[in-house]
Structure 1
Amino acid sequence: MPEVMFAGPDGRLEGRYHHSSEPNAPLALIMHPHPLHGGTMNNRITYAMYRSFEKLGFSVMRFNFRGVGRSQGRYDGGIGEISDAAGALDWMQMVNPNSSGLWISGYSFGAFVGMQLLMRRPEVSGWVSVAPPANHYDFGFLAPCPCGGLMLHGDQDELVPEPAVRKLVDKLNTQKGVQVDYRVFAGADHVFANHADHVSEAIDDYVGRVVARKTMALAAD
């Protein structure tokens, strides 16, 4: 799990990167919760997502947004953090010019940043959003959403009421060609206390199946 430092739009950014042993492996970029509320790349759920993609054979990176850990700069209200994520993606693509796919995965504030990045990078082939703050941010920019993905939430989330996320999912699922797999964990709050394993299992299941289908489709051509 080598430490990496790469150029961001507001100074150097700190990350942890795993390079897959598989040739032309797909890429996954992981984004952490809100910087002003203790969010870092070492957050338990962020790390669980990272490990899930690593086990699935991805080259994967998690990183600290500006002003967090050893990343330079200051919190920028979400706008600069979207640019940070784009810079992280640029670095990964430079290291992996022949990758077979690209996934973005974010938790809480990181889910919002991830979905913003999704709309800016047409090469993204899949996404995972954990506890997206649908009541704090307007997700109306997902129109149209370029591809389906996995959304996870807890029915006891005290910061983001589950109905707000369900409303977002229902809206996305009305779009042509978009299918969101929405999974609600009973008893889980916003920090997913005692539910990190459930998050990992859901990612293993969903992403594993999507990647397997793509592999089979390529083999059939």
Structure 2
Amino acid sequence: MKIRELTVRYGKFNAVDHVSLNVPPGSAVGLVGESGSGKSTLARAVAGLVPSRGTITGIDRSKVQMVFQDPYSSLNPRMSVGLSIAEGLGPRMRRTARRTEVERLLDLVALPAAAADKYPRELSGGQRQRVAVARALAAQPDLLIADEITSALDVSVQGAVLNLIRELRTELGLSMLFISHNLAVVRYVTDTVAVMRAGRLVEAGTVDEVIGAPQHPYTRSLLDAVPRLIHS
């Protein structure tokens, strides 16, 4: 996917200001910045959820799926897990085939088949986020956007969800835009990093380049917020 001069404007304010970014097939690109930097707005524009100007080529926008920060609010509390995941499947699929596919997707995100009959309120935060990932994968996306998917989770389960994302990348060859404010998380999951500040990209490169030898003062300030990265 190639993003060129993408701009999202709210009134007179450019939330995203002429951003250009590549997400090569099978790669994971980390988009990092503080709250309000425009990274989530850019993600929503790529997914077609907010109007934008500029061009997005190399991908069918209907094949972009997004996993949001809060798994509870993104799942219908009145729908069972199985029905929520099945929403992403083709409407012509037979009932038995749908059930089999739902169970396969649950297994893919390390949840038991019995979870299909549960409701979001019966699951932990980490389990709900796994359901959200399974629902996104049901649509067989060409691009998966993960928007701060561990931020609303307890620290004790964040690592397990990040490990899941890494495993899915390897197993499925997913192309991914991974959004976070935490460079330590981005380094663990992605190949390349793009740093956003005030709606613009200020630095981009491989993980080793950006974290090992940051060129922009803002990137260095983000690194200073995660001291363990400097000596790792």
TM-score, structure 1 length as denominator? 0.35
Bigger RCO (CA 8 Å, 6+ sep) = 2
Return the TM-score normalized by structure 2: 0.33
- Larger proportion of helix: 2
